[in-house]
Structure 1
């Protein structure tokens, strides 16, 4: 009886194995056919993945480059912005103004702005080359009696070097973004890269403007000259001034 059952099961088992083998071979065939029929999709996905990786690397490079310093920068010269405010008392305003303008012209400077009160005072905003600054200031002091003389010197060397290094890195970053933009073929990728390019260019424009301003302030010092007409007292004027001086001494003694 047992031998009869085994004899009947053998054909069934062999048939099942054969059927399983046929299904396995068919599934492999369908898989290969599907891969071969859509090669463009595979290449597109691979291209998009590669572009995404490059974009991520771009952001990583930006964060490093903007915060880094250009160690190869050999420009270590000191950058100083010099500005003076000089007030003079003069007897003749017209003559004093002519003298001041002549001095500025001789020192290769120029008058940036002129204003004043007719018959009482005048103001000249003078720009003078840095190497002529001290000599010009001394010559202007001799035009009249010095009432006040103040000077401010600001060292912008660190800001100058930092901005120069940041600009060098931003130029490299802009070039790399432009390369990515030229290779992009998806609308959303193009829009993202253009926004990044615009932000980078705006930062470059801002720093270039700042560097231009610093260079102009360093190359040319500023002297703000004010000349006031001196008062001339007559005999009675000196008489009453003497009385006032005497009265003042009755109440206030020098310590």
Structure 2
């Protein structure tokens, strides 16, 4: 009887250990597949959401009025503009542009000015709210003496933005599952494995959030770069006094003389090979003529002319 009881006790003990092993194995497998399960579920949800978005876009194409305006407002577009302006005064123009940007809630990113002889130029880069993008450009062009060139471009990042949001939701779901498994874990090796997976997922979440914030900033504020060039200022002749007129005329004459002298020097130096060649040829001709003349009159005495009969 004791042997039978002992045998039954051993069987019950082995059955209990086997059940515990199976439960631990199932828990480990579920922990290892937590990331894949969460991502699979979120992929299905994202697919459904994508189908809904496509359906909404198709409906939006056929709708009119307020529906189209709402769809346009949901788009994420990065606008940039480059305008080349001719202004009367660089300093005044810079202050005016800064004031306009500040009034619209924008700010200046970069500013520089250069001076070349009597003409100045400069570059300014602004970030203005997207809703005031066109107004700021119009104000800048109206303040200029002449608009030389304007280039406006837009980059639609709506698809990337929606994809990032979907991936962020998926990663946060995985993070929640891993946190739940960490609370239920009992073994140290399981805690270390879950902690490592959790750190990797949280790092990916931070990267996605950073990219989303960047796109939000780029689409909320537009970039406007203004290239300025000061209009050439010509002083009227009536504004010059006697001494200024004399000084101006003297400078003009000096410039003319310098131009003539520099032209002669350039011509002489540049034509030296030709001059040397011509000099050499003339020297040969002169020497030949001289030898011929000596051959006709070796003594060098003058030839007497015979009187006519």
* Contact 1:109/1:126 (8 A) holds in 2: yes
Corresponding residue SS for 2:33: helix
Q: How does 1:237-252 map to 2 (within 5 A)?
A: none
Q: How does 1:210-229 map to 2 (within 5 A)?
A: 210-229=211-230
> CA 1:105/1:59 → structure 2, altered by over 3 Å: closer, same or farther?
closer
Alignment TM-score, normalising by the size of structure 2:
0.61
The partner residue of 2:37 within 61, 74, 96 is 61
* Larger relative contact order (Cα-Cα within 8 Å, sequence gap ≥ 6): 1
In the TM superposition, what is the alpha-carbon distance from 1:189 to its structure 2 partner?
1.4
Corresponding residue SS for 1:223: strand
Alignment partner of 1:113 is 2:115: no
**Bigger mean CA deviation after superposition, 137-146 or 44-53:** 44-53
In the TM superposition, what is the alpha-carbon distance from 1:94 to its structure 2 partner?
0.7
In the TM superposition, what is the alpha-carbon distance from 1:54 to its structure 2 partner?
1.2
> CA 1:178/1:135 → structure 2, altered by over 3 Å: closer, same or farther?
same
Residue of structure 1 in register with 2:260 after alignment: none
Cα RMSD (Å): 2.9
In the TM superposition, what is the alpha-carbon distance from 1:35 to its structure 2 partner?
4.3
Unmatched runs of 5 consecutive residues or more in structure 1: 1-21, 237-255
Q: How does 1:1-255 map to 2 (within 5 A)?
A: 26=3, 29-36=5-12, 41-42=17-18, 44-65=20-41, 67-68=43-44, 69=46, 71=49, 77-117=74-114, 120-144=120-144, 145-232=146-233
Residue of structure 1 in register with 2:63 after alignment: none
Corresponding residue SS for 1:120: strand
* Contact 2:39/2:170 (8 A) holds in 1: no
Measured in 1, the distance between the counterparts of 2:42 and 2:196 equals 17
Residue of structure 2 in register with 1:16 after alignment: none
* Contact 1:113/1:125 (8 A) holds in 2: yes
In the TM superposition, what is the alpha-carbon distance from 1:203 to its structure 2 partner?
0.9
**Bigger mean CA deviation after superposition, 81-90 or 206-215:** 81-90
Measured in 2, the distance between the counterparts of 1:147 and 1:65 equals 56
Measured in 2, the distance between the counterparts of 1:219 and 1:97 equals 24
In the TM superposition, what is the alpha-carbon distance from 1:88 to its structure 2 partner?
1.3
Alignment TM-score, normalising by the size of structure 1:
0.72
* Contact 1:65/1:170 (8 A) holds in 2: no
Q: Max radius of gyration: which structure?
A: 2
The number of residues matched between the two structures is 212
> CA 1:59/1:31 → structure 2, altered by over 3 Å: closer, same or farther?
farther
In the TM superposition, what is the alpha-carbon distance from 1:217 to its structure 2 partner?
0.8
**Bigger mean CA deviation after superposition, 71-80 or 50-59:** 71-80
Measured in 1, the distance between the counterparts of 2:35 and 2:208 equals 20
Measured in 2, the distance between the counterparts of 1:121 and 1:67 equals 54
**Bigger mean CA deviation after superposition, 76-85 or 107-116:** 107-116
Corresponding residue SS for 1:112: strand
Measured in 1, the distance between the counterparts of 2:35 and 2:108 equals 48
In the TM superposition, what is the alpha-carbon distance from 1:199 to its structure 2 partner?
1.1
Measured in 2, the distance between the counterparts of 1:141 and 1:186 equals 70
